[in-house]
Chains A and B, each alone.
Chain A
Amino acid sequence: MKSKVNTFTWTIGGAAGDGIMVTGAMLAKYCTRAGLWTTDYAEYPSLIRGGHNVQVVQVDEEQIFEHDQGTEILVAINEETVRLHAASLSPGGALVYDSTRLTINPAMIGDRTDIVLVPVPLMDLALKNGGKDLMRNTVALGATLALLQAPRKLMDDIFQDTFGAKGQKVVDINVATCRAGYEHVQKLVKDFPWRIVPKENDQRMVIGGNDALSLGFIHGGLKFYAAYPMTPASSILISLAELAPTYKHITKHAEDEIAAVNLAIGASFAGVRAACGTSGGGFCLMTEGLGMAAITETPLVIVDAQRPGPATGLPTWTEQGDLRFVMHAGQGEFPRVIVAPADPTQAFQEAARSLHIAEHGQLPVIILTDKYLAESHWSTPMFDLTKLRVQRGGFVTAQEHGGGPWYQRYADTVTGITPRPIPGQSGGVFIANSDEHDAVGHANEESDNRVMQYRKRERKLEAVLSFLPPRLVHYGPDDADVTFVTWGSVTQSCKEAMRKLATMGIRANVLQVLYLLPFPVAEVQQFFRAAKKTILVENNGTAQLGGVLKEYADVTCNHQLLKNDGRPFWAEDIAAFAKGHM
């Protein structure tokens, strides 16, 4: 039996354009400031107005990684939300609905009598208290806090911090509309079983994958970011554009993804740390540029925030379908680094690190995320800003550069990495050439030269190992009965499943492959020798990591659980699968 203090799920539903996402973000911030842990998840179709949007916020006293299927509070801005989600309410849960627009009849809620109906005239109260129609969400927030018997003052502080810059009037309207919802529900419901009791805790953030990644880029010295908007990568461009004046970098909304990758390569060649980002469809267009970064040995970071394909696929949903694609994208053979963070902290760290790896190793680095990580948010400890500070590298000193006429920028070296001058620097010149080339960059089709240059590029993969953190990440006890083997954001679902199994007395742990290339063969083999039972969990239809494990490390998991319907895993389903295979 779960505690009813500080442990609950809250769901809000409405039409696109109703502004419900902001409400969930405010509630998550409230609970995080109250010393609790949150995670949220949003589903929405590829529409701006209309269509059905839903957001879920899960709250707990312990760190949580994924939300549950059931909900204790459902806020319905429209009738569709009631029809679609009333069944997910826990017994004793509350349905908060906009009584200005809706009347609930038994058929709409599946004749349920075990839930509490909480009619709140959301629209009326918003308008009466000086707000516009979208402020009904703030009324709903007040109603929620009243149900949970949570102190309103903490929310008022958040309004002050969030809207203070927009003027006291905006703050006051938020406070007033929130209070209206709060006081209305306070009179209506007195003994709702779920409650918030604030706790003292370390300061934490509520942050999503894309924002964490953007901040990691800035911390890592990014000066140039180019992209063409594509869900779910677009908010990286938007965040970086907003922060450009503060941190003095440039964002370029390019005419297409081909331009984006070539812009980033040009900026990087000129000497700044540069990246571009997209989803799988845009990555298709970037692949020729990826190879060019490799053959010209120009540092480059590309973000692929995955969504289900092929083609336009399911634009606003999640999948891990691009692993094999990014591993092999581009004609010919060339080295690349692929990292797949699981949570905002890893997104931050690996984004910062990717710029270091790319610059020092002079090769492309791909950051593979997905919609679930990109657009969901988690309570997250403050990032450690003393780590991963910028250290430049891979550039030639004036003395090494020499007076010219040519600089041997592609001369063979022990590590394969040859220091480069930035163009414009006085001294010998060179050509960065997408043709195979000799030491100064002139096109060269000789057999020996080709083999030398190919090997020089490949050898850099060994050299970059020293820039990488452990490529496998373990969670949970060492001596587990069952191990989930996974990558990317599914790690979060597996960690949550591990927590659920622990309450059933089953010891589970999680193995996350953080770096997919260069693939950590020896580490994987060592882990598999010790593991009792392994379950591969992937958000795709063909077990792409499973294939990679077999190909590189010759290991196979005992069981596999796959899902590719555009939705993230439910931790309950993973736990049940594991239990069924014990």
Chain B
Amino acid sequence: MQRPVKNPDFNSPHYPTWCPGCGDFGIWTALKNAMAELGWQPSDVLIVYGIGCSGNMANFVRTYGFHGLHGRALPVAIGAKLANKDLKIIVIGGDGDGYGEGGNHFLHALRGNVDITYIVHDNQVYGLTKGQMAPTTERGQKTSSTPEGVIDQPLNPVALAIAAGGSFVAQGFAGDTGQLTQLIKAAVDHPGFAHLNVLQPCVTFNQHNTYSWFYDRVYNLDGTGHDFSNKQEAFARALEWGEKIPTGILYREIRDTYEQDVPEMRTESLVKERLDNIDISGTLKQYT
């Protein structure tokens, strides 16, 4: 009988190297809280990380981990899930990582609906490379790579996720770890691909989207009567940005996961398949 796990059980010997006050701390705390509340042992779970300040969390959490390439965390996680459908898999990435470099994988993961949870640290700026424009940076904002101001329209990750066929789309805020913990648990519980965009300040490189900027704007959808099974309504909420920014579950739909629709995955996980009794002689005959 294993003793119940607590948040510190998921700590690694390395204390985070993020800047003091970084929103990543809130997400880190909420993630460990959620795993503890779910009753997971560290060895039950695989966390796949992208590259960036968010991905550096690989060094600060004790579970099985895969710290992959910039933008490529999702396909690694999906490959692992298809190989072992019994494994619990969470993906940690950032806005540049997941919406810029890895945008294509994000689109197709939403379509595929493999049962994994994707948590994106969205701080509207590039942190690890020191303050360049991100896909979610507001138009006109000056960054080190756009000194005259950003020209591109910012990407709306949650609206995009709903439009692209996401079955679970939620938004959290790193300044509210209580709500974020519950959102992570809800995302994990969702059968299918769960996208959780987490708004967070970058205290060093983004002087626009600060804690107080967010505190003035975010509101919890819970208790507003929002019907997250209504796609039109979800889309209307997802488009809110500026004066009011919604947090909570925006959209949820229960449909078959990718795993449920692959005949070869309906019984045991592939990783448990025996390999010592393979016999291809029947197929060879067809070539004679």
Give A residues with C-beta under 8 Å from B.
Answer: 32-33, 203-207, 211, 215, 218-219, 221, 223-224, 226, 243-250, 252, 254-256, 258-260, 262-274, 288-289, 292, 296, 382-383, 385, 389-390, 392, 404-406, 422-435, 441-443
Query: Which of the candidate stretches B29-37, B130-138, B183-191, B278-286 sits at the interface with the other chain?
Result: B278-286
Within the assembled complex, what's the spacing in Å between the Cα atoms of A27 and B105? 44
Q: Mark B33-53, 1 if CB is under 8 A from A, else 0.
A: 000000001111010100100
- CB atoms of A271 and B271 under 8 A apart: yes
* B262 adjacent to chain A (CB < 8 Å): yes
Given contacts A263-B76, A433-B58, 19 further A-B contacts (CB under 8 A): A203-B288, A206-B288, A215-B283, A223-B273, A247-B280, A248-B270, A252-B78, A254-B75, A265-B68, A265-B79, A266-B82, A267-B83, A270-B79, A272-B83, A274-B79, A390-B275, A426-B41, A429-B62, A431-B58
Specify which of B66, B75, B79, B264 lies most central, judged by the most chain A CB atoms within 10 Å of its CB: B79
- CB atoms of A267 and B80 under 8 A apart: yes
> Using a CB-CB cutoff of 8 Å, which residues 153-209 of chain B contact chain A?
none
* B144 adjacent to chain A (CB < 8 Å): no
In chain A, what residue has the closest Cβ to B105? A259
- We find that the number of chain B residues with CB closer than 8 angstroms to chain A is 57
- CB atoms of A262 and B65 under 8 A apart: no
* B213 adjacent to chain A (CB < 8 Å): no
* Distance to closest chain A CB from B102 (angstroms): 9
Q: A262-B69, A430-B64, A442-B59 are in contact. Are A224 and B278 (CB under 8 A)?
A: no
- CB atoms of B283 and A264 under 8 A apart: no
Kindly count the residue-residue contacts between A and B in the assembled complex, taking CB atoms under 8 Å apart: 213
Q: A206-B287, A390-B278 are in contact. Are A289 and B42 (CB under 8 A)?
A: no
- CB atoms of A385 and B279 under 8 A apart: yes
Q: Mark B249-285, 1 if CB is under 8 A from A, else 0.
A: 0000000000000111100001101011011111110
In chain B, what residue has the closest Cβ to A203? B288
- CB atoms of B283 and A246 under 8 A apart: yes
- CB atoms of A404 and B83 under 8 A apart: no
Within the assembled complex, what's the spacing in Å between the Cα atoms of A266 and B64? 13
* B108 adjacent to chain A (CB < 8 Å): yes
* B119 adjacent to chain A (CB < 8 Å): no
Give the residues in chain A near B139, CB-CB below 8 Å. none
* B120 adjacent to chain A (CB < 8 Å): no
- CB atoms of B264 and A266 under 8 A apart: no
- Interface residues of A, dominant DSSP: mixed
- CB atoms of A274 and B83 under 8 A apart: yes
In chain B, what residue has the closest Cβ to A401? B43
Within the assembled complex, what's the spacing in Å between the Cα atoms of A307 and B105? 27
Of B43, B80, B262, which contacts A426 at CB under 8 A? B43
Give B residues with C-beta under 8 Å from A.
Answer: 12, 14, 41-44, 46, 48, 51, 56, 58-59, 62-69, 72, 74-84, 86-88, 104-105, 107-108, 262-265, 270-271, 273, 275-276, 278-284, 287-288
- CB atoms of B280 and A385 under 8 A apart: yes
- CB atoms of B42 and A265 under 8 A apart: no
- CB atoms of A266 and B275 under 8 A apart: no
Give the residues in chain B near A206, CB-CB below 8 Å. 287-288
Of A244, A269, A382, which contacts B264 at CB under 8 A? A244
- CB atoms of B76 and A249 under 8 A apart: no
- CB atoms of B270 and A269 under 8 A apart: no
- CB atoms of A224 and B270 under 8 A apart: yes
- CB atoms of A422 and B84 under 8 A apart: yes
Ranked 4 nearest A-B pairs via Cβ = A266-B79, A262-B75, A205-B287, A263-B79
Give the residues in chain B near A292, CB-CB below 8 Å. 68-69, 72
Within the assembled complex, what's the spacing in Å between the Cα atoms of A354 and B190? 38
Within the assembled complex, what's the spacing in Å between the Cα atoms of A425 and B45? 9
Give the residues in chain B near A390, CB-CB below 8 Å. 275-276, 278
- CB atoms of A270 and B84 under 8 A apart: yes
- CB atoms of B264 and A434 under 8 A apart: no
- CB atoms of A430 and B65 under 8 A apart: yes
Give the residues in chain B near A262, CB-CB below 8 Å. 68-69, 72, 74-76, 79, 105
- CB atoms of A423 and B80 under 8 A apart: yes
In chain B, what residue has the closest Cβ to A256? B104
In chain B, what residue has the closest Cβ to A205? B287
Specify which of A243, A247, A404, A429 lies most central, judged by the most chain B CB atoms within 10 Å of its CB: A429
Give the residues in chain A near B43, CB-CB below 8 Å. 404, 424-429
Give the residues in chain A near B284, CB-CB below 8 Å. 205, 215, 382-383, 385
Give the residues in chain A near B283, CB-CB below 8 Å. 215, 218, 243, 246
- CB atoms of B63 and A429 under 8 A apart: yes
- CB atoms of B59 and A443 under 8 A apart: yes
Q: A263-B76, A431-B66 are in contact. Are A424 and B41 (CB under 8 A)?
A: no
* Distance to closest chain B CB from A104 (angstroms): 37
Give the residues in chain B near A270, CB-CB below 8 Å. 46, 79-81, 83-84, 87, 271
Specify which of A224, A266, A288, A404 lies most central, judged by the most chain B CB atoms within 10 Å of its CB: A266
